[in-house]
Chain A
Amino acid sequence: MELTREEERALQGEYGDGLKLAYKILVSIGNANDATKLISIKWAHISGVNFNTIGEAGVRFLSELDKETKVTVTTTLNPMGFDSKKDNNISEDFKANQHSIINSYLSLGVIPSFTCIPYEIFTLPKKGEIVSFAESNAAVFINSILGIKTNKESSLSSLASAITGKTPYSDLLIDDLRTPTTSIKPDIDIQTESDFGLLGYFAGKIAKDICVGLEINSEGLDIIKSKAISAGIGTSGMCGMFSNKNNDCEKISFGQTELTQVKDELNTAEKGDLIVFGSPQLGLEEINLLGHLTERKKFKKPCLIFCPRSLTECNNKMIRKLKKAGADINCDSCTCLTPLITKNDYDSIVTNSIKCAYYMKHANKIDVSLKDMKSITKEYCE
């Protein structure tokens, strides 16, 4: 990889330990991915905020970063482990580690957004611009729906890019590589957000490359469905983008058999003791839909909803309605690797989210009943 004279100096440590380490991370990743150079970015979105994701090693690494180190581009943060403004049944040890992580990131000058859907909250750079996004659902969404370019970054690579304002020029940043080599062709009429999520999950598994084809009509794809596909793809593989560009590539059909096959993998219970919405966090459209579906009704089981704090702060009528229906609204956090839902309290949950189902099953070891939002409100509200 070619470095400019300035980049070389920074890598040698002439501009401080923080920049030296950040360049070292980017150069190693650039070497691994056959990047030819570093390129400037307009935004970074960092993952690895929840203590459950980065653990004690992450806490220590972040706390040992040079205190003079700052981010040089607009940088947003993924969710942390719990809602900072609520009393949670979280251990003191977890809280202390979580606060250490947050303090480390704040000292770098990031925006404490604690959201995994920055594309629904912020005005992001324009189509065609290059960014460094680590949250997998967000990376897939902005590449595929908004045409903003990012590789599927990691906690460390997005952090290094936030500090340097640069990323290795490789893979999905190169226009010629944003074309699928395998395409999924649905043979069935997919209607619900959960089934779109399963389509994404299937596509992510099958994809041999960084961009997978989905032969679906983009006009029928609203934000809820696009988000479900993006989160599904982000959960199951290394793929960072989907495209419905019609090109000559290998076609794989997605019919009832394939749908049932991936559903059976994640849907392990008939019913749930807890209703969970929000992985990725719910955005305005989903909150509105859920509010309508539960109007003048009550949840029959406890219901946890995860959404960005900004949605609760604008005197949102729907949030008030959902609270009235008995929902417990949680900000700053998400279901992915949450310490809030444990096997001690619940044997099973019901959710419409593929990402939530996957992490509940694999990380929290809790059974999942997978249903779409409409069916859940029909069955679990009265």
Chain B
Amino acid sequence: MRKINCKKIVGGKAQGLALLSNKPLNMLSMFDTKTGQIKDKDHDLFNQTLKNKILIFPNCIGSSVGAYIFYSLKINDVSPKAVICTNKCDIITASGCAISDIPLVDGTGASFESLKNNTKVTVDADKQIIIIHTV
């Protein structure tokens, strides 16, 4: 088990399997909001779904109305359980997670390089701690 300090952006606590990417996401243009899948062929998460995952990615880019896509994923029951931004957290992700009740932390500075997809991760935004569970 490894503990990582982080900064709380949206409160809450959740546990799930990691879904990692080094690439930013453009919420408005990349998603199938019915399935939660990323539909951009050039993205390393192509065809992966965010549903029930702990999304670990740098930040969102593009139009700020992309925040509503988080809300769309939430009402379609395909949203991530929690989100970790590895770059500076942006306002699209912050406001999107805020209106969708998705715990969100800024993990800038922490190393997620050794972490693999589907590793069990706990995000406790209120305590500002990320727990990486070893198998």
Q: Do A and B come from one complex?
A: yes
Q: A24-B98, A28-B95, A31-B9 in contact; A156/B67 too (CB < 8 A)?
A: yes
Task: Point out the residues of chain B lying under 8 angstroms from A155, CB to CB.
Answer: 64-65, 67-68
Tell me whether A48 is interfacial, beta carbon within 8 Å. yes
Stretch at the interface among A49-57, A179-187, A365-373: A49-57
Q: Check B91–A154 contact: CB distance below 8 A.
A: yes
User: Chain A interface residue count: which class?
Assistant: 20 to 34
Task: Point out the residues of chain B lying under 8 angstroms from A310, CB to CB.
Answer: none
Q: In the assembled complex, how far is the CB of residue B109 from the closest CB belonging to chain A, in whole angstroms? A: 14
Q: Check A58–B99 contact: CB distance below 8 A.
A: no
Q: Check B9–A32 contact: CB distance below 8 A.
A: yes
Tell me whether A259 is interfacial, beta carbon within 8 Å. no
Which one of B71, B75, B88, B104 lies within 8 Å of A28 (CB-CB)? B104
Q: Check A156–B99 contact: CB distance below 8 A.
A: yes
Q: Check A154–B64 contact: CB distance below 8 A.
A: yes
Tell me whether B92 is interfacial, beta carbon within 8 Å. yes
Task: Point out the residues of chain B lying under 8 angstroms from A32, CB to CB.
Answer: 9, 88-91, 93-94, 106
Task: Point out the residues of chain A lying under 8 angstroms from B14, CB to CB.
Answer: none
Residue in chain A with minimal CB distance to B75: A60
Which one of B9, B33, B68 lies within 8 Å of A54 (CB-CB)? B68
CA distance A27 to B64 in the complex (A): 17
Q: In the assembled complex, how far is the CB of residue A120 from the closest CB belonging to chain B, in whole angstroms? A: 23
Q: 1/0 per residue B11-51: CB within 8 Å of A?
A: 00000000000000000000001000000000000000000
CA distance A61 to B104 in the complex (A): 20
Q: Check B99–A29 contact: CB distance below 8 A.
A: no
Tell me whether A88 is interfacial, beta carbon within 8 Å. no
Majority DSSP secondary structure for residues of B touching A: helix
CA distance A5 to B21 in the complex (A): 39
Task: Point out the residues of chain A lying under 8 angstroms from B64, CB to CB.
Answer: 134, 154-157
Q: A21-B99, A154-B64 in contact; A29/B72 too (CB < 8 A)?
A: no
Tell me whether A316 is interfacial, beta carbon within 8 Å. no
Q: Check A57–B95 contact: CB distance below 8 A.
A: no
Q: Check B92–A154 contact: CB distance below 8 A.
A: yes
Q: 1/0 per residue A38-81: CB within 8 Å of B?
A: 00000000011000011111101100000000000000000000
Task: Point out the residues of chain A lying under 8 angstroms from B89, CB to CB.
Answer: 31-32
Tell me whether B132 is interfacial, beta carbon within 8 Å. no
Residue with the highest number of chain A CB atoms closer than 10 Å, among B65, B67, B92? B65
CA distance A27 to B94 in the complex (A): 9
Tell me whether B97 is interfacial, beta carbon within 8 Å. yes
Tell me whether A121 is interfacial, beta carbon within 8 Å. no
Between A and B, 9 residue pairs with Cβ closer than 8 Å are A29-B91, A29-B94, A47-B65, A53-B65, A57-B33, A61-B99, A154-B91, A154-B92, A155-B67
Q: A134-B64, A154-B91 are in contact. List 17 more A-B contacts (CB 8 A).
A: A24-B99, A28-B10, A28-B94, A29-B95, A31-B9, A32-B88, A32-B91, A48-B68, A54-B65, A55-B65, A57-B72, A60-B71, A61-B68, A61-B99, A154-B92, A156-B64, A157-B95
Q: Please give me the 7 A-B residue pairs with the lowest Cβ-Cβ distance, nearest first.
A: A154-B64, A57-B72, A28-B98, A57-B68, A32-B94, A28-B94, A32-B89
